[in-house]
Chains A and B, each alone.
Chain A
Amino acid sequence: MASRIFGSAIKRREDPRLVTGQAKYTDDFVLPGMVYMSVVRSPYAHARIRRIDTKKAAAMPGVLGVFTGQQMKDAGFGPIPCAWVVPGSDTKTPPYPPIAIDTVRYVGNAVAIIIAGDRYQARDAVDAVDVDYEPLAVTVDAFRATQKGEPQLHGDVPDNICFHWKVSGGDVESAFKSADVVVKDHIINQRLIPNAMEPRAALAQYASAAGEITLWSTTQNPHIARFLLSLDTGTPEHKIRVIAPEVGGGFGSKIPHYPEDSMAVFASKMVNRPVKWTESRSENYRSTIHGRDHIQDVELAAKKDGTIVGLRAKVWANLGAYLSTASTGIPTILHGLMLSGVYKIPNIHEDVYGVFTNTTPVDAYRGAGRPEATFIVERLVDLLARELKMDPVDLRRKNLIPPFTDGYTVATGLVYDTGNYEGALNKALAIADYPKLRTQQKEMLAKGQYMGIGLCTYAEICGLGPSQVAGAVGFGGGLWESAIVRFHPSGKVNVMVGISPHGQGEETTFAQIVASELGVGVDDVEITHGDTDQTPMGWGTYGSRSTAVGSGALMGAIGKIKEKARLVTAHLLEAAPDDIDYADGKFFVKGSPDKFKTIQDVALMANVAWNMPKGVEPGLEASSFFDPPNFVYPFGAHIAVVQVDAETGEIALKRYIAVDDCGRVINPMIVEGQIHGGIAQGVGQALWEGAVYDDQGQLLTGSMMDYAVPKAEFFPKFELAMTETPTSVNPLGVKGIGETGTIASTPAVYNAVADALAPLGVKTINMPLTPERVWRAIREARR
């Protein structure tokens, strides 16, 4: 880190191609002979398929084929695999056929596919497929679906309970028995729709002569996609190439291996042409995964002085109709283990029921499990403060885990890496001028105006993660990363990585790392990712892992390059390798800094190999794999200030202060960008967003006309600051920052609104906090 490039806010190299329209997304690729796929989808949330008549559709202009689930099965295509089965939870994994065969289980469930010459022909033929449905009873609510008399989705899953997972630490029963005070809440952490700017797409080319598949896909993890595709298509992994070209955001929704990926491959095989499918936004809302959707009964036990002694929760997590790729891990491992938050809570117990319902499958959405945990603990802490008439800051201070640099074990068993929670809180309070805000609040209340101040102090688990832990918790893959650093004779560098960024900016930050470490210009480094034929194996980009884990692999490769450069330099300068030092891009003889070779000198000499040291191979290239010893735990403190119009129920977000700590910062502008987007999505959950189903399983918020994705004008200017507490988990001391905003901002804003409404006697309101809900809550409280 000799150079100033590390830590500087250089502009993202990704942006010129994005803002000029030169970036190529999956839908931009056109292959000779390419045809189009459209999907016939169920309008019913639950129905038996009596008959599918495809004759009329098959005779439509331009139609090359109409295929059903049965045909796909007969062609040897298997069910979509679930890649995460959490041990000890009695998880049922009913089959997930890519195209429904006899039963549809949610609105949007595929029942047939059309292959046609152009998109219009493909779409027209959808309406011509005649499906005879026998509608069945529908269940959509995760709690209700477990009750007697509700329809059962899968034959072998009684009461629709897919799993019952438990986490326990300490003795929660005794803690609650001996507590002075217990606060409770019933939380609905509502279902959200991820809304990546680019919808999903798949372009499949089956080459029959070689038996090879190439799939261009909107995936966050092409190597996982290839692995899973090999399982359900029957084509072996070495005959599959998955390419993730430009991917326009994912937020977790592009982690799963989706039915349409397999359908496109199947279709290409059937019609012997490249087949492209691109979903419409309406399709996206119904057939791309949703996030969150928990019903939670939660309680917190404490002593009179505010010392927290226990936390207990019972959660019904809606999984939707089928198990998406990582769905079972989200409401368990990534959720329940984080219930201690940033507090010393000696006794914790949680029961989680994963429940099937007649809704779109639920999987990872930005934060994935951790927002659902952080909201519980941050909400309960505020309720406890109110119950004890303590300032929420004082109550937090009393219970915060003190600063630590060598690991802190919480009751759920996790070992947090490093933290200084009070440091972040103090900084946020200083920026907010907290005492002044409280004074202002009192003055406004005297005038009949309702201002609220909300806090969230959080830590989160990310940088997924040690592969041994991944295996132990039932994740069907590893979680290490890899990198290849290749120097060309001219000293320019290509880096190939296993991660697959799609908006996170690692093409820039990884170039900054290479430039800083090896003394090359940042523009002399090119980062290649997202193509299984061009990049080494890696597990992809999600769980704020790309920099936290990927940079470890990159640093490993850089270390090997440095080591080889030392040998080459020593040989060229006729010195002993141990006498060669490195600083500021120069390999020099100790004590004689004017005797040196630059990395460019070494790259040339190693590549021409005219004069290599004995036993040293030519070339300057290194590859490395990195499996971290632990997860990383970024943290911070967020403060929201709101004003509530008690007449209309409208909420105005007046200020938003965020202090985040992601360890060492490679590029502060990119970190801020991640925080901005995260805050917007998290506040979106608190105030505007929510997927709503009616009792027949119809999605009422089926388009952007109804589902409120936040707009820039809804927000004040964010007031951001950072603290830097490096981790020892990876060589650079970096932690993930992709999800902190969504984890912290939902409770911060919710707590602010609750704070504003407390003088009116309002206790709890369901999210999103729409004007009508706020108005009704005020009216109820006044009665």
Chain B
Amino acid sequence: MFAAPFDYHRPRTVAEAIKILREVKGSRVLAGGHSLLPAMKLRLASPAALVDISRIEELNGIRSAKDGLQIGALTTHAALAASDAVRKSCPVLAETAGQIGDLQVRNRGTIGGSVAHADPGADYPTLMLLLDARFTAADGKTREIAAEKFFVDLFTTSLKPGELLTSITVPATDGAAVYLKHRHPASSFAVVGVAALVRMKDGKCGDVRVAVGGATAVPIRAKAAERALAGQAPTAANIERAAAAVGESLKNPISDSYASGEFRVHLATVMAKRALAHVTRGG
């Protein structure tokens, strides 16, 4: 568990960080270190230099935004889980953050690090897709990337080399939302994670959203399932029928020694049914 040699930089500002990222070949951003450091210790990753952004004040904290919250990339899972502002504006985000890994992981791991790493078993990507979150990236100038454009492939985002993720804007949720996950018994990562949000209208399901993570390389909106339930009463039969359509959206599911692709799709279907029943309960 000994990493290969690397240089280490600790910038104090975003501008300084971007400058180093641009100038130092083979450099990588270090935030909470919960994904990158294990990979380095196993020598699966050997970056020439680490740019430790953990002391950049402007990347930390949760602020009000026009339509919700702007969350600094360095905000830890523990801080999100405990934030009154998050619980008020987007309770499902606080609940999800509180389910990540264990206490030590939540105290160190950051939302920015997690989404930028784009592990298929991570929890935030699924939720960000569900909530239409927007990712702010800086490389001298800033741009905003929609969640559906942000996650590109396994461990791959649309962040460009030299670009730094600075914050994530999460719109306030109106409607009941939930995130369910089937934890891997060893890693606690989501083998499948299902997020659902339903806005009720006149006793029927208005806007229906279902996002599935863990089953495929990047999280996916289960649009066929969403369409099947939109405008319908949230009866058990309607929910079951809608959930049965989840599989249509899950092409090329991931297989490993714990769960086959077929089983992941099955889990996603059952979990979508349960998630939809949960968020429409009493609706």
- Contact surface of A with B, Cβ cutoff 8 Å: 119-120, 123-124, 127, 280-282, 647-648, 650, 687-688, 692, 700-701, 703-710, 714, 770-772, 775-776
Q: Mark B1-45, 1 if CB is under 8 A from A, else 0.
A: 110110000000000000000000000000000000000001100
B1 A280 Cβ-Cβ under 8 A: yes
The interface residues of chain B, by DSSP majority, are classed as: loop
Beta-carbon nearest neighbor of B263 in chain A: A772
A262 to chain B, nearest CB (A): 23
User: A708: which of B182, B186, B259, B266 is its contact (CB, 8 Å)?
Assistant: B186
A124 B257 Cβ-Cβ under 8 A: no
Q: Can you sample 24 A-B contacts with CB below 8 Å? A: A120-B2, A120-B5, A123-B2, A280-B1, A281-B1, A282-B42, A648-B270, A648-B271, A687-B185, A688-B185, A688-B186, A701-B186, A704-B187, A705-B186, A705-B189, A706-B187, A706-B257, A706-B258, A708-B184, A708-B186, A770-B259, A771-B182, A771-B267, A776-B263
Beta-carbon nearest neighbor of B270 in chain A: A647
A303 to chain B, nearest CB (A): 42
Beta-carbon nearest neighbor of B102 in chain A: A711
- Contact surface of B with A, Cβ cutoff 8 Å: 1-2, 4-5, 42-43, 182, 184-187, 189, 256-260, 263, 266-267, 270-271
Q: Which A residues are CB-close (under 8 A) to B189?
A: 705
Q: Which A residues are CB-close (under 8 A) to B42?
A: 282, 703
Give Cα A706–Cα B182 distance, bound, in whole angstroms: 15
- Return the 9 tightest CB-CB contacts between A and B, nearest first: A708-B185, A708-B186, A123-B2, A772-B263, A705-B187, A280-B1, A700-B257, A688-B185, A647-B270
Q: Which B residues are CB-close (under 8 A) to A124?
A: 2, 4-5
B40 to chain A, nearest CB (A): 12
Q: Which B residues are CB-close (under 8 A) to A687?
A: 185
Q: Which A residues are CB-close (under 8 A) to B267?
A: 648, 771
Beta-carbon nearest neighbor of B271 in chain A: A648
Give Cα A293–Cα B5 distance, bound, in whole angstroms: 40
Q: Which B residues are CB-close (under 8 A) to A704?
A: 186-187
Highest count of chain A CB atoms <10 Å: which of B4, B43, B186: B186
Give Cα A647–Cα B187 distance, bound, in whole angstroms: 23
Give Cα A582–Cα B117 distance, bound, in whole angstroms: 72
Q: Which B residues are CB-close (under 8 A) to A280?
A: 1
Q: Which A residues are CB-close (under 8 A) to B271?
A: 648
B266 A775 Cβ-Cβ under 8 A: yes
B5 A775 Cβ-Cβ under 8 A: no
Beta-carbon nearest neighbor of A688 in chain B: B185
Given A688-B185, A771-B182, A772-B263, residue A701 in contact with residue B2 (CB < 8 A):
no
A136 to chain B, nearest CB (A): 24
Beta-carbon nearest neighbor of A707 in chain B: B186
Give Cα A701–Cα B186 distance, bound, in whole angstroms: 10
User: A771: which of B1, B5, B263 is its contact (CB, 8 Å)?
Assistant: B263
Apart from A648-B267, A705-B186, A710-B185, what 7 extra A-B contacts exist at CB < 8 Å? A124-B2, A703-B42, A771-B182, A771-B259, A775-B263, A775-B266, A776-B263
Q: Which A residues are CB-close (under 8 A) to B2?
A: 119-120, 123-124
A124 to chain B, nearest CB (A): 7
Give Cα A119–Cα B1 distance, bound, in whole angstroms: 9
A56 to chain B, nearest CB (A): 15
Give Cα A547–Cα B231 distance, bound, in whole angstroms: 71
Beta-carbon nearest neighbor of A779 in chain B: B266
A692 B263 Cβ-Cβ under 8 A: no
Q: Which A residues are CB-close (under 8 A) to B270?
A: 647-648
Beta-carbon nearest neighbor of A702 in chain B: B42
Given A120-B2, A282-B42, residue A648 in contact with residue B258 (CB < 8 A):
no
Give Cα A160–Cα B61 distance, bound, in whole angstroms: 62
Q: Which B residues are CB-close (under 8 A) to A123?
A: 2
B5 A772 Cβ-Cβ under 8 A: no
Q: Which B residues are CB-close (under 8 A) to A709?
A: 186
B22 to chain A, nearest CB (A): 28
Q: Which A residues are CB-close (under 8 A) to B43?
A: 127
B186 A706 Cβ-Cβ under 8 A: yes
